[in-house]
Structure 1
Amino acid sequence: MIKKILVGIPPKNHINLAMDEVNGLIDLGYECHTITYTRNNSKLSKLNKLLGVFSNAYALVKKLYKVKPELLYLNSRFEPVGTTRDFITIVLIRTLYWRKLHIAIKTHGSNISILTKQSFFFESIVIPYLSRQVTIWFFLSNEEKDSIAKLAPKFAKKAYVTGNIIDPNRSIKSEAFMENYGLNDNRFKFFFAGRMIAEKGIFSIIRAIPDFKYKDNCVFIFAGNGDDYEEFKAEIKKLEIEKYVYLTGFLPEEECDHFYANTDALVFPTYFDEGFPMALFKSVASGLPVITTQTRAALDHLKEPDHCLWVNGKEPASVAKALNQLYENDALRKKMAENNHSLGLNFTKSKLTEQMHLDFLNAIAKN
């Protein structure tokens, strides 16, 4: 039986998500301690990144000796960079920390091609080692788990599916909030939140606007920043749709969350390697009608037309068709809102951490 857990959490992105899990586990009777565990700055040289991994691993070992937990729980990603970092970190922990320790990893998104590329490093060293050393590995969709089962059966025995905690109470309906952004008007408000990269479907949204029949009655709000932000702004200007688009730029999570309660629908045509996209499921829990793509956790939890309209995120025409359909059908929007409110109850702190607790016990019993 484990009683004490050391949790590796990110330093700035999705801190609430990580701490909600910590607090939920505390509510179940665990003693939890935290330490920063994250990717290095992408702008650093490879040498400095490697030195950063060693430095973080050493800090983890020091904390392990201080806390003496039965379980180390790390938030990470299953892809070449993140998995290499996890591999190096766990090798150093197993070398320098001599007490019995179970290890859990939760991957926030994955690139399963790590198992399909013919790489001696991953195929013969990294994955076999992690298969032995990690007690339980949480993924955020059945698609990821099923893919792993086909490609790495031994590793798949450690794989479990979980979700992320969603607290809709962090999003408050407020005229003052919208007035602050100059958006307190009668326009129908489509919302997008996330990194501004092409794979999130942002260009498909704006390229759909010219073919959206009701654009004069609507505004498209984009919250976020990212690598393609400047190109995105240039495309808006090129399409001459500036009056239909509102860009917030980067927002702290606590600020951005309020848009879910103050907008009318989410449009999220991502084709990125999503795990459990928070923008999507925060919208669900807030009762927003949704336009999105058939990716991973979305397929696990959403059905069309009960919760969403499916689109092809690479095709603006597909997005435009869904925009028209959703705007025209008030009854469809209301039904989606009701269903999504109900679905959001599946992602409460108590439900998800109770299931994690049971998964911990099951995995440890098998280990």
Structure 2
Amino acid sequence: MIKVLFNTPNQNLSGGPPTHLFMLERALRNHVQVVPYEYGRKSDNETVWQKIFGRFRDLITTRRILLKNDVDIIHHNSAFDPRAIVRDVPLVWLAKRFKKPIFIKIHGSMPEAFTTESKIVTRCRNYVLKYATGFGVLSYAEKNEFEDEFPETKGKMHVVKNILKDTFYNVERKESERPSVLFVSRFIKRKGVFDLLNAIPYVLEQKPSANFTFVGDGPDAAEFDRCVAAMDLQTNVKRLSAVTNTETSTYYSSAWVFAFPTHFPEGMPMVIAEAMAAGVPIVTTPTRFSRSYMKEGKHCLFTKYGDVHSIADAILTLLSDSELRVSLSEANRELSRTFSEVAVSREFTSIYKSILSIDTKYHGYTIVHTPNPTQHEEYV
């Protein structure tokens, strides 16, 4: 059985660690032997020196684990931004030193990591891209971006998924009596929350009884509340600052439409995936994730970035067409099955096996080109 050194995040971070990582670790134990390790910040307010000495301690601890356990591959959960890239260089060096292949799952990539003018970050980035054995990204669009910008990563990039909780698969659809639109996200402008708010008056012109529920909190929440009052929309709009997964499932159950007009590239926005699993018809922008997995008119309706009228038109189309809502709901639930624990853990196991089919050389690892086990048609 393959033995995997698996990176788990610290549980003391604000908001808690991403639950999908612990779900993946648990699911992987059905297919591989998992050895957990920590490499990363331990609190939200670490000083520069705490970061430096903290990662040095992590490196020493990881070295001890590698000496004690003859692992086959290292699975590191990270991001592709300047800070994460610099942080990960020592770990990639350690993997190279021990001649262990290292697979880095990227949970988000920032444009500045592609175009940085910092010589230090550029050298660190190039080192990680050269000596990491494989990378996991959350969409085919993101994979293409990496391979276009860094041709040396071709053959190293794998498209992976995050696991969805069973809670959302088990949602029983029962639309509310009044037309209802749901938004769930952190309240920052680039998530499209104000675009959706400004689209509401146009929707109400044709659907005056429509309800809009906004779930979330964040730096722009207070401004949002002021805008709702200034626009005199209190009758049709309510905001809930925080709800449990069970409560969120209730809103997914009754919503006619899930609207998420984000401006971010969004590798895999969990709220979209959760709405998909719950069978909610979706209105969203053409993000990395939606372009990779969702078809216009089959799984969602696309809207233009920042276009209030486009958002209103897409919402009105769904509110006025019950057959289309049912069709999108059924297609989304079918698509969401590929994000289950069983499906995702099997895909990761296949990726580990493909990486372990490489030729080991003194300077690192050369990939033997094998089919990407998660590849399927990309919708563009």
TM-score, normalisation: structure 1: 0.86
Q: How far off its partner does 1:107 sit?
A: 1.1
Provide the aligned C-alpha RMSD in A. Answer: 2.8
1:314 aligns with 2:306: yes
Quick one: distance in 1 between partners of 2:16 and 2:83? 18
Quick one: distance in 2 between partners of 1:222 and 1:32? 39
Stretch of structure 1 that moved more, 292-301 or 160-169: 160-169
Contact 1:304 1:310 in 2 (8 A): yes
Quick one: distance in 1 between partners of 2:44 and 2:308? 31
Query: Could you tell me which of 20, 35, 44 is aligned with 1:17?
Result: 20
Q: How far off its partner does 1:230 sit?
A: 2.0
The change in CA–CA distance for 1:156 and 1:132 in structure 2 (over 3 A counts) is same
Contact 1:127 1:155 in 2 (8 A): no
Contact 1:292 1:308 in 2 (8 A): yes
Deviations 1:53-86 (A, max 9, x none): 3344444444444554322212221112222222
Stretch of structure 1 that moved more, 14-23 or 334-343: 14-23
- Residue 104 of structure 2: SS of its match in structure 1? strand
Deviations 1:237-264 (A, max 9, x none): 2222122222221345565355333433
The aligned length equals 355
Question: What pairs with 1:236-247 in structure 2 (closer than 5 Å)?
Answer: 236-247=228-239
Q: How far off its partner does 1:134 sit?
A: 1.5
The change in CA–CA distance for 1:259 and 1:85 in structure 2 (over 3 A counts) is farther
1:5 aligns with 2:5: yes
Contact 1:37 1:75 in 2 (8 A): no
- Residue 306 of structure 1: SS of its match in structure 2? coil
Quick one: distance in 2 between partners of 1:54 and 1:271? 37
* Matched AA of 2:138: L
Contact 2:10 2:42 in 1 (8 A): no
- Residue 72 of structure 1: SS of its match in structure 2? strand
Question: What pairs with 1:1-367 in structure 2 (closer than 5 Å)?
Answer: 2-9=2-9, 11=11, 13=16, 15-28=18-31, 30-39=32-41, 43-91=45-93, 93-94=94-95, 99-123=98-122, 125-170=123-168, 173=171, 186-212=177-203, 213-214=205-206, 216-253=208-245, 255-366=247-358, 367=365
Quick one: distance in 2 between partners of 1:215 and 1:80? 46
* Matched AA of 1:54: F
Partner residue in 2 for 1:181: none
Q: How far off its partner does 1:7 sit?
A: 3.0
Contact 2:107 2:137 in 1 (8 A): yes
- Residue 314 of structure 1: SS of its match in structure 2? coil
Deviations 1:114-163 (A, max 9, x none): 1223332233x212211333121100111111111122111343211112
Quick one: distance in 2 between partners of 1:315 and 1:47? 45
Quick one: distance in 2 between partners of 1:35 and 1:264? 43
Quick one: distance in 1 between partners of 2:240 and 2:319? 23
Quick one: distance in 2 between partners of 1:237 and 1:51? 49
Contact 1:171 1:259 in 2 (8 A): no
Q: How far off its partner does 1:234 sit?
A: 2.1
Deviations 1:163-193 (A, max 9, x none): 2222343465589xx9xxxxx9633332122
* Matched AA of 1:294: P
Deviations 1:268-291 (A, max 9, x none): 111113111110011111111000
* Matched AA of 1:337: S
Contact 1:110 1:274 in 2 (8 A): no
Contact 1:148 1:155 in 2 (8 A): yes
- Residue 356 of structure 1: SS of its match in structure 2? helix
Deviations 1:26-64 (A, max 9, x none): 112x11133445556565544444444334444444444
Contact 2:170 2:278 in 1 (8 A): no
Contact 1:136 1:360 in 2 (8 A): no
Quick one: distance in 1 between partners of 2:68 and 2:253? 43
- Residue 8 of structure 2: SS of its match in structure 1? strand
Partner residue in 1 for 2:376: none
Contact 1:172 1:262 in 2 (8 A): no
Quick one: distance in 2 between partners of 1:154 and 1:272? 26
- Considering fraction of residues, name the structure with more helix: 1
The change in CA–CA distance for 1:103 and 1:314 in structure 2 (over 3 A counts) is same
- Unaligned 5+ runs, structure 2: 359-364, 366-380
The change in CA–CA distance for 1:163 and 1:196 in structure 2 (over 3 A counts) is same
The change in CA–CA distance for 1:185 and 1:6 in structure 2 (over 3 A counts) is closer
TM-score, normalisation: structure 2: 0.83
Contact 2:168 2:274 in 1 (8 A): no
The change in CA–CA distance for 1:118 and 1:251 in structure 2 (over 3 A counts) is same
Q: How far off its partner does 1:205 sit?
A: 0.7
Quick one: distance in 2 between partners of 1:246 and 1:58? 50
* Matched AA of 2:120: F
- Residue 287 of structure 1: SS of its match in structure 2? coil
Identity %: 25
